[in-house]
Every structure is written in structure tokens, then in C-alpha cells.
Structure 1
Amino acid sequence: MYKSIICLPILFALGCEATSQGETQNLTMLNSAAINQISQQMVNSLALQNDSLRPDQPVIVTTPVLISDLESTNSFGLQFQQGLIAAMHQKQFNLVDINVADALKITADGDFILTRDWQQLPADIAVEHVVVSTMSLSNAGMALNSRIVNVTNNRVVSAAQGFVNANDLNDYIQPSEKVVSAHGLLYRNAHAAEQAVRVIGER
């Protein structure tokens, strides 16, 4: 199994650099754009390390989950999934959107076809490969791991990993404060950022 390390903090440390033409290029990104950049870097590595997935084989991008329980996600994970979908389409992967319902729903608020209700989704999608991603929180930021898995035999056909510094995505990730709440109790630390980072809007 191949694995590629992505040095994401270097990407965000670029700031403003001078181009070869002597012009100044502003590389400071909004946080949503930064997530898209992370997604592109991850997909570039997945494409490079792919050892068996063919262009004609369909792929589903699943929602990234916290590695602590493999069942919950957060606001970062939801946006990261959308970034992976866009980046993989740019790389010409054969993507299948699992959230497209069987029928269009017309309401007074708008016309909708995307859903998370499994009862409205098609039951027979022939897909053998999925992209799964995990997020692991530390006191400095978030470690990301993505891989393409063949669900017929659970074989990993590509894998990539990276790390996001909390300071680079402060609209999504915040360092812990001196006083933190966990399991109904308050804990006081000697300094801030001693506990795992907090994802803003976390469920």
C-alpha cells in the first residue's frame, strides 16, 4: 500500500510571495478556499498513488469522520467532502453523487433533489470504490487521512495524509482555551491550547 505525505502547513505559510515577473501575488486564502486547496492536494496525491482504479470505474466520496468513533463528522468534514468531490471531478474521476434522490421535490421554498434521507435514495448503485477520510484532532490542529477502498474486498488502492494547523483555518478550528468542558465537567489547564482543538459548529 502506498502512502503520500502532504505538507499542508507549508502551503499556508506562503503568505505573499513575489512572482518571477516581479509582481506580488496574494496567496492568502479565505478559509473555504483553503479547504478547497487542501482537497486538491489530497486528491493529487490519491491520483498519483492509485495502483488499480480505472477511469471508467465509478467512485463515491463519503463524508469524512472523526477517527475517535468513525461515525460523527463536523462542519470542516462536510466542507472537506465537497472539496474532495470538486477536486476529483477536475482529475476526471468517474464520480457518483450518492445524495441525489430518486425524484425532484418541488416546494414553496425551492426545487430540491439532494437529500440525506436514505429512503429517498436509489437502492441499486453499482459502485465498487469509495473515498473514505478520517480526521484526528490534536492540540496543534487536525490530521487528515484519505484513501480509496475497493468495497468488494476492502483493499486500499490509494492513500494520502496531511495535517492542518489550527491557525490556518481559524474560522473552522480553534485552539482549546484554558478552561474546557468535557463529559459534563470543567477542566482548568495551565495554558491555552493544551487540549485538542475545537471544531467550530461541531455536532
Structure 2
Amino acid sequence: MLKLTRLITISLLSTLSACSSLGLTQKTDERLCADDLGTFHTCQDMKIPTEIADSPAKEHSRSLHFNILSEYTEQMAAELKNDVRGMEVVQSIVVASFVHLDSSLQNTDTLGIQLAEAFINDLQQIGLPVADHKVMGVLDVNDKGDFVFSRNMEQFYNPVDIGYVLAGTMQKNSRGLIVNARIINFTTNKVVASSSKFLPNIITNNLL
């Protein structure tokens, strides 16, 4: 290493001496800097990038939050499955929108609907029978598109044989949101499984 350092020093001195012999002046306060390729330049001549490429930060943030939300619901679904272990769940589970924990238990929002949508997928993935009660039973084709979902009960032609319902509540505090989920026997109202998680504000702020 010492020998290599001396060779580099001698090479630089030889270059400077050659410049002097050609009548070129070399400022004593100039320094040589090497770029990523190992080429030497006068430091002030090197271009230093000052701009950072724009990125769709908001979209990336939303995507990241959605992935984290899915991870939370997957954990909760696994806990629910552990509770029903040993039970024979034959009848379908329907998933209701998660509601805010208030006096009416009738208020939901975008996050409450997204939680329900996530649990439909998660319960299916862990092998529990799931039914979607919002399917009309017919395909509604019109000039706006082709539709199978509805929230109008008068449009439901195929009644769902509901065995269980997954329902949940959301409770807001200064640090985030407490989400409680439970699977309830739709005939006896008996809670057969439950799970609770805390979702920090960084997860929920862009979803509310």
C-alpha cells in the first residue's frame, strides 16, 4: 500500500511538472478530486448533482400504508383462526363494515369499509368459508357498466345462508386507532373468535 501511494504521488508530480514545462500555470490553491470512475479533475470543475428526481411521494405513501394495513388484518385473521381451531365452520361468514365505537354503532368511513374488504380476502386465504352479501344475484348491465354489487336490499335475489358474521369496531385516540374484530354466531350471538390491534396514526391518517 505504501509503495502504491508513492507511485500515485510520483505520477501526480510528473503530471504537474509536465504542465509547468509547457508554460501552463497551476494554481497552488487548486485541489484534485477523483470522480466515481477514478478520473482526476480540478475540484471546482466537477459537477455535483443538486437536484433529486421527483417521485410520486403521496402515491407511494398510500401504497405503503395499504400494505401495512393488510399486514395488520392478516395478523388479526390468523388470531381469529386460532380461536376457531377445532370448530367445524361450515356455514358462510359474512363481513360487515367496521363501525366507530359510539352510542349508535352505525357510523363508518373509508377505513371501516377497507377493513371489511381486507378481511374478506384474509379469511378466504386462511381457509374459512366467506360469502359476500352485497352480490345482487344478477348481472346489471347498463350504459354505465356491468355491476354485481349493491347496497339496496330490494335488489338482492339470492338470500345468503349466513352462519357467522365478522364485525368490528374502531376507537380513535391521540396516537391512532384501536381496531376490534370478532366472529359471531349469527343465530346465537355467541362470540366464537376475537382479535384486537392498535393501528398508529401513520397507518390510518391517509386512509380516513
TM-score using structure 2 length: 0.66
1:152-191 paired onto structure 2 within 5 Å: 152-172=187-207
Does structure 1 retain, via aligned residues, the 8 Å contact 2:167–2:182? yes
Q: Which amino acid aligns with 2:74?
A: Q
Match of 2:91 in 1: 57
Q: Which residue, out of 69, 75, 95, partners 2:130? A: 95
Give the paired residue count: 146
Larger Rg: 2
Does structure 2 retain, via aligned residues, the 8 Å contact 1:64–1:134? yes
The answer to whether residue 169 in structure 2 is matched with residue 134 in structure 1 is yes
1:23-34 paired onto structure 2 within 5 Å: 30-34=64-68
Q: Which residue, out of 28, 47, 54, partners 2:81? A: 47
- Tell me, what secondary structure is at the counterpart of 1:81? helix
- Tell me, what secondary structure is at the counterpart of 2:88? coil
User: Larger relative contact order (C-alpha < 8 A, sep ≥ 6)?
Assistant: 1
**RMSD across aligned positions (CA):** 1.8
Write 1 or 2 for the structure with the bigger share of strand.
1
Q: Which amino acid aligns with 1:86?
A: N
Deviation at 1:167, TM superposition (A): 2.1
After TM superposition, which residue ranges in structure 1, 4 or more long, deviate above 4 angstroms? none
Unpaired segments ≥5 residues, structure 1: 1-28, 173-199
Q: Which amino acid aligns with 1:147?
A: R
TM-score using structure 1 length: 0.67
The answer to whether residue 111 in structure 2 is matched with residue 76 in structure 1 is yes
